[in-house]
Amino acid sequence: MKKLLFSGLSLGLGLLLGGGANSASAQNLSPEVLSAVAQGYQGTSADKALRNALNTTAINTLAINAENAAMIDTEFSDRVKTMGITDQKQSGRCWLFTGLNVLRAAAIEKHGLGMFQFSQNYNFFYDQLEKANLFLQAVIDTRNKPMEDREVDWLFSNPISDGGTFTGVANLVMKYGVVPAEAMPETFVSNSTSQMASQLKNLLRQGGLKLRETPKGMKAKQLPEYLQSQKVEILKDVYHVLALCLGVPPSTFQWKGKTYTPQEFYQEMVGYSLNTDYVMLMNDPSRPYYQVYEIQYDRHLYDGQNWLYVNLPVERIKEMAIASIKGNDAMYFSCDVAKFLDRTKGVADLNNFDYDSLLGFKNTMDKAQRVQTHASGSSHAMTLIAVDIKDGKPVKWMVENSWGERAGYKGNIIMTDEWFDNYMFRLVVDRQYVPSDVLQMLSKTPIQLPCWDPMFLGEE
């Protein structure tokens, strides 16, 4: 026993003194380790020149690849008819602009319209109200779990946002209909949502804490009714804030001399079921393909649908995308937009920036590894409208963006096919363009992923 004790003391002393390959000094940034690490910068003439440049210039500016400076060819073999570029401004509503732009293209084609937009503000009002209800009811459903529970912690970390997915567009439009832009125009707050979002989050977190409390002396059978009444009171405050910031959504309106309800307007302008006529596809190589997945709480309405998708190889998704474009049907498309995007030209190309030469290290992660490590994911939704096919294969694609007509290439972004492979994630396609083997997969019981999964990323 004494011998073991002495050995333990000797080992501890060795660690404190920094001896051995597995010593504490090797585990920490000790002076020895720091000295070794500092050899990463040699201070060569090239290092000094780059350091001087980076002292006053952004990394992306210096990383621009001069060998790829020429503008990409802007001609496309196949393109959907669209009209006008929208602008989400300082808001995270790209998912809503994209979804309504898909419907707008269909309405313009169906009715031969000129410039026309649906009101994003109208559907955004109900999006925020429905998300507030989703959070509060989820708090009621989980009120017996401790605050430290991961699901409860996630809920209070994410009570509401202005991001979303096509599922939200589908559920909101089918429940509340649509109105033309002039029936509920944008406001300063709808165009710049961060301050309203901050206030709504505080309101909901405060309300959520109250819903987790049980009044003294309350009988168990009285509790459900009490909780629902308290939830309604909190939602009244939410509605009040939304009405002040966004306006009151119309129940009826006039358009071209006729009176409509929002639901009647949708049926006349578009008419098909967004909940059943579209299939949501994903390219997530970190998980098995040809499986159906569903993400917990990845929805906008408590009684709505979670984001449910078929995970497919990118080549299968391209086949459906090309068929849809050739059929003159625009698609909801989402990607990791910021990666290798030249915002000035409006071109997404893996050769746009040469970070390796500038910073001296090579990023070797593939798409699956980027997803697993949270280095990449679906961050922005746009409307896929064009493909350029040469020798039977796509060489580039184009999306209609919602950053205004001055952003990118005439308000659009052109993507090389290689970029598409690496940073495209989601596509929503009309069922008529989906092969039977993919449609049959939807009959499978979906694999549910938790709300903290990397794929739970609302497009903004």
Count of CA atoms in the C-beta half-sphere (13 A) of 213:
9
Cα of 147 vs its chain's centroid, Å = 27
Is 451 a known active-site residue?
no
Is 94 a known active-site residue?
yes
Catalytic hit among 401, 412, 422, 451 = 401
Output the CA–CA distances (angstroms, integers) from residue 11 to 7, 24, 39, 64, 137, in the order listed.
6, 11, 30, 52, 56
Output the CA–CA distances (angstroms, integers) from residue 312 to 249, 289, 306, in the order listed.
39, 5, 19
Long-range contacts of 315-321, Cβ-Cβ distance < 8 Å, separation of 24 or more = 316/438, 317/281, 317/283, 317/424, 317/427, 318/394, 318/420, 319/435, 320/281, 320/427, 320/429, 320/433, 320/434, 320/435, 320/438, 321/384, 321/387, 321/397, 321/427, 321/429
| Selection from 154, 148, 84 nearest residue 118 by Cα | 84
Q: Which two tokens stand for residue 62?
A: 């210096």
Catalytic hit among 283, 335, 380, 451 = 380
Is 401 a known active-site residue?
yes
Which sequence positions are flagged as catalytic? 94, 380, 401
